[in-house]
Amino acid sequence: MAAVGYARVSTREQNLDGQTDVLEAAGCKKVFIEHASGVLAKRPALDDALDYLRAGDTLVVTKLDRLGRSVRNLKEVVDGLEKRGVGLKALSQGIDTTTPGGRLFFHMLAAIAEFEHDLIVERTKDGLAAARARGRKGGGRIKMSTTKIRQARAMYDEKTYTVQQIAETFGVSRGTIYRHLGEDVRA
């Protein structure tokens, strides 16, 4: 029954010393240290820590945000730990999933996060449906027909219109005009 620490810094300016000191004070004999950003999919030190842990061990972090990139990702990690009989302690939040109260608190937190995610998805769908009802298509780039591209090229070649004016004429961004007219336009 070992306490195993995991520390991660998310920016170059952050220092690991504070995290490792707290983890060692909490009884962690082994601490895995991640130097990569949490937004990156690959976190080799976390993978090593997860491989190292055995049933009855506890993974200790200073804060929950050190462990997961998102609440959903955090829940996946904790679910994986639970299936293996490994606990989680988040020192700053006072969460300890080796206790019934700690498990309850964590799962309530995860349920609230899932609910929030579902609300965002629902609002997004409602917004897209409302936009479609007004004649707008959701997502993707605005398409320019071959005819419109030729017209935009002719306007540009006349040298009387700016790229911004051409974009406004066709209801697209300057980037769309640049993309269709080619690199020679950006000179």
Residue holding tokens 């976190």?
A: 43
Beta-carbon contacts of 47 under 8 Å, excluding residues fewer than 6 positions away, are none
For residues 15 and 74, membership in a common domain is answered with: yes
Distance of alpha carbon 187 from alpha carbon 168, whole angstroms: 21
Q: Which domain holds residue 158?
A: 146-182
Beta-carbon contacts of 85 under 8 Å, excluding residues fewer than 6 positions away, are 55, 56
Domain finish residue from 99, 132, 156: 99
pLDDT digits (tens, 9 = 90+) for 126-147: 888 888 888 776 666 667 888 9
Positions marked catalytic: 10
> Which CATH number do you get for residue 26?
3.40.50.1390
For residues 95 and 160, membership in a common domain is answered with: no
pLDDT on residue 82: 93
pLDDT digits (tens, 9 = 90+) for 5-37: 999 886 655 677 889 999 999 999 999 998 766
Q: Both tokens of residue 78?
A: 């904790």
Question: What total of structural domains would you count in the chain?
Answer: 2
Provide the 3-class DSSP secondary structure of residue 94: coil
Domain finish residue from 99, 132, 167: 99
For residues 18 and 79, membership in a common domain is answered with: yes
